Structure formats: structure tokens, C-alpha cells
Structure 1
Amino acid sequence: MVLMNATVILAEHAHARAGDKGNILSIAVFPLDAAHYEWLRRELTAERVAEHFASRRPARVRRHEIDSLKALNFVLEDALEGGVNRSPGLDRHGKSLSYLLLSMRLPAPG
């Protein structure tokens, strides 16, 4: 039984692939169980992703639904401190940031 206020960590129900191009981060999220795609569509919003990545100060977060793959793709503009070649930060490749997204807490699927 799942309580109404229960939350889960996204990584318990999804996996992600990420990439970067310049200062743009792209993260695709796939449910581990296709039955959870509608839950992801409802709960994993661009607004929630923007809030979760607030410390990276993205200028804009867009969500693209890819129904044929049961995936959501998030594009975060200006989220990589100028890009891999310009950033003074260590390991700012977009690939490592998919784990940040997967650490997000969401209401449990129901």
C-alpha cells in the first residue's frame, strides 16, 4: 500500500541518458516499467526539473515528450557554466548530471 504523501526517488523507477553540446544539457528519462510513463508525464514537469537544477541556473528548461519511446527529454539551456571547454568546474559534462536528475523525489506512482 502506498501512502498519499509518499515520495520516491526517481532512480527507483527510471533511468536516464544525458549529453551536452556547448552550454546546453540534454537529459532523456525512460521509465523502468512502461506502465509508469503516464506517471512520469504527470509528475516530472519542466518546472520541477528547473527547480531541481536551480543551483546550475538554467536560463530555460524545455520538456519534449517522445511517446513512441516512452521517454521525456529535458533541454536545459545555459546549465553547464559556459560549456565543457569554458567551465572552470571539474567534470561539468552533461553525462554526469543525469544522476542529479535521478536523485529527484517525486510523488509515488499510484
Structure 2
Amino acid sequence: MKRKLYELAHSRAGDKGNILMLSLIPYQEKDYSLLCKEVTAEKVKQHLKDIVDGEIIRYEVSNIAALQFVCHQALLGGVTTSLGMDTHGKSLSFALLEMEIEVKEAVIGGK
């Protein structure tokens, strides 16, 4: 069954120039392996295709059970030059959390 990421995890956003960093941290550490399997850089790139123009690189931060996505060319030129309403990309953390993944029924319900 499909579920949105916000049911399993939370996210934070950061920026440097025209690069956006998105973290994905499961509410329960046991769900980290599911996120590693289902939330690939390619799937995130497809999900954010209208926002991120460049490459997306995923890093696994297993010691804190988190994923980090580095999204190039994501802030319309960068914080100081962008005419976008959210020049820092803070709202893009929720855009990531809107992504749907395949989840087994037993995983659902644990925040």
C-alpha cells in the first residue's frame, strides 16, 4: 500500500547558494531500512522534477538513521539572486514529505 513520507518521517531543509539539502529522518529508527530501500535519489529526482534542475545525491547517515539529499540547481539561482518566494527552500522539506512510497501494512501507524 502507498503512504506519504510524512506518515513515517520528518524532514529539514538547508541551503548553500543554489544547492538545497534535505534530510529525511524516520520517526522510528526501525523504519530507516525501509526509507533506504524506497527513497532513492532517482525517485526523489522524479518527485521534485519541477523544482530541482540538477543532480540529486543521496547520502546515508546510518549512525543517526537519516538520509541526506543534496539537490543541485534547486533554488532558482541561489538565495541572494532568486526571485522565488521561498529563497531558502524551507518549504521544500514538506514537498519531499509529500512523496509516496510502497509500505507494508505492518509498518503503518508508528510515529
TM-score (norm 1): 0.91
**Correspondence for 1:50:** 45
CA distance in 2, matches of 1:57, 1:27: 12
* Shift in Å, 1:92: 2.9
* Shift in Å, 1:91: 1.5
Identity %: 43
**Correspondence for 1:80:** 75
Structure 1 outlier segments of 4+, above 3 Å: none
SS at the partner of 1:72?
strand
**Correspondence for 1:40:** 35
CA distance in 2, matches of 1:58, 1:37: 27
Aligned residues: 105
* Shift in Å, 1:38: 0.4
The 1:55–1:106 alpha-carbon spacing in structure 2 relative to 1, beyond 3 Å, is same
* Shift in Å, 1:87: 1.0
* Shift in Å, 1:58: 2.6
CA distance in 2, matches of 1:56, 1:16: 17
Which amino acid in 2 is paired with 1:86?
A: T
Contact 2:23 2:69 in 1 (8 A): yes
CA distance in 2, matches of 1:84, 1:7: 34
Equivalent of residue 66 in structure 1, options 32, 40, 61: 61
Which amino acid in 1 is paired with 2:15?
A: D
Equivalent of residue 12 in structure 1, options 7, 28, 32: 7
The two structures, once aligned, show a CA RMSD in angstroms of 1.1
Structure 1 spans left out of the alignment, 5+ residues: 1-5
Which amino acid in 2 is paired with 1:32?
A: Y
* Shift in Å, 1:57: 3.5
* Shift in Å, 1:84: 1.6
* Shift in Å, 1:94: 2.1
